[in-house]
């Protein structure tokens, strides 16, 4: 079964700008970025396979997700794009950049990492068990969403941002979320970091406990020329918690790429 993801689009000018949400997110969480960049870029926010209107794949793996992103870009007539990935979306973006480097004008990883968990597998197993236990007890996605979201937010979270994150997570089909969790814990693309040739920006919330500043600084050291920006007060959901700061950092990075290409 070949899956071509659904996507939300905004703008029709400039280089494509692709946004990839995290495991608990959706395209609506990129609204502030669409508003900021839709006049200068063709903005595209996908619905990860299994999420929203996009069918699930026979097996959710990072190579398969990267292939699905390539098909979405083909459908959107976007041979290449600036790719922005948050959390698990950043892992998909890194996988895509490693597999299709010529299609990535620049790479932005927000609250993401090059590998997930420890090397023994025990941590990953406990992570899945912790996340799925409430689902096994019948609480459903809407039941677990508030607690999960509250654990991701930084200092003084905006009530509207919290509500948006909870709504996005509540709408995820449980089967898709379970499949994404199993996929998430398999990720390890540390081997790709040194070979990245495109411009790379790492964005991290100062209060992010999922992909903390220390982790992303270590990743920066392994990527030639990578830039690092830390967003004060933000937690794991920096693009909705501190949208102005997030957009300022992303905008400066994109402007530098445009200037270099001119």
What are the DSSP calls for 143-208, one per residue?
A: HHHHHHHHTT--SS--HHHHHHHHHHHHTS-HHHHHHHHHHHTT-B-GGGGGG--S-EEEEEETT-
Residues of the chain above pLDDT 70, percent = 98
* Mean model confidence pLDDT for the chain: 95
pLDDT of the residue at 100: 98
In contact, 27 and 45? CB cutoff 8 Å: yes
If pLDDT is split at 50, 70 and 90, which confidence band does 70 have? very high
- pLDDT on residue 124: 81
CA angle, residues 39, 45, 49, in degrees to nearest 5: 165
**pLDDT for the residue numbered 2:** 85
Interval 203-250: pLDDT, tens: 999 999 999 999 999 999 999 999 999 999 999 999 999 999 999 999
The total of other beta-carbon atoms located within 10 Å of residue 101's CB is: 15
Q: How confident is the model at residue 120 (pLDDT cuts 50, 70, 90)?
A: low
- Please say if the pLDDT value at position 108 is more than 70: yes
Instruction: Give pLDDT, residue 118.
Output: 59
Is the confidence at residue 123, as pLDDT, over 80?
A: no
| pLDDT of 119 above 60 | no
How far apart CA 48 and CA 26 sit, in angstroms, is 8
Q: N- to C-terminal Cα distance for the chain? A: 41
| pLDDT for res 211 | 95
Instruction: Count CB atoms within 10 A of the CB of residue 181.
Output: 19
Domains of the chain: 7-261 (3.40.50.1820)
pLDDT digits (tens, 9 = 90+) for 241-250: 999 999 999 9
């Amino acid at each position: 079964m070949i899956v071509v993801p659904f996507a939300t689009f905004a703008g029709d000018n400039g280089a494509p700008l692709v946004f990839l949400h995290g495991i608990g997110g959706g395209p609506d969480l990129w609204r502030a970025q669409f508003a900021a960049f839709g006049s200068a870029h063709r903005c595209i926010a996908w619905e990860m396979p299994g999420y929203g209107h996009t069918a699930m794949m026979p097996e959710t793996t990072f190579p398969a997700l990267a292939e699905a992103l390539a098909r979405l870009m083909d459908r959107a007539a976007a041979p290449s794009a600036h790719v922005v990935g948050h959390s698990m979306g950043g892992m998909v973006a890194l996988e895509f950049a490693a597999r299709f480097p010529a299609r990535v004008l620049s790479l932005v990883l927000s609250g993401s990492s090059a590998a997930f968990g420890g090397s023994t597998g025990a941590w990953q197993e406990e992570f899945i068990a912790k996340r799925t236990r409430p689902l096994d007890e019948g609480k459903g996605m809407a039941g677990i969403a508030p607690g999960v979201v509250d654990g991701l937010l930084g200092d003084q979270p905006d009530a509207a941002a919290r509500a948006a994150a909870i709504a996005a997570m509540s709408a995820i089909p449980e089967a898709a979320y379970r499949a994404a969790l199993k996929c998430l814990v398999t990720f390890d693309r540390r081997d790709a970091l040194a070979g990245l040739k495109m411009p790379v920006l790492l964005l991290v919330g100062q209060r992010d406990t999922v992909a903390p500043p220390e982790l992303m600084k270590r990743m920066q050291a392994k990527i030639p020329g990578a830039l690092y920006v830390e967003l004060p007060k933000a937690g794991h959901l920096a693009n909705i918690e501190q949208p102005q700061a997030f957009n300022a950092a992303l905008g400066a990075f994109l402007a530098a790429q445009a200037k270099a290409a001119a």
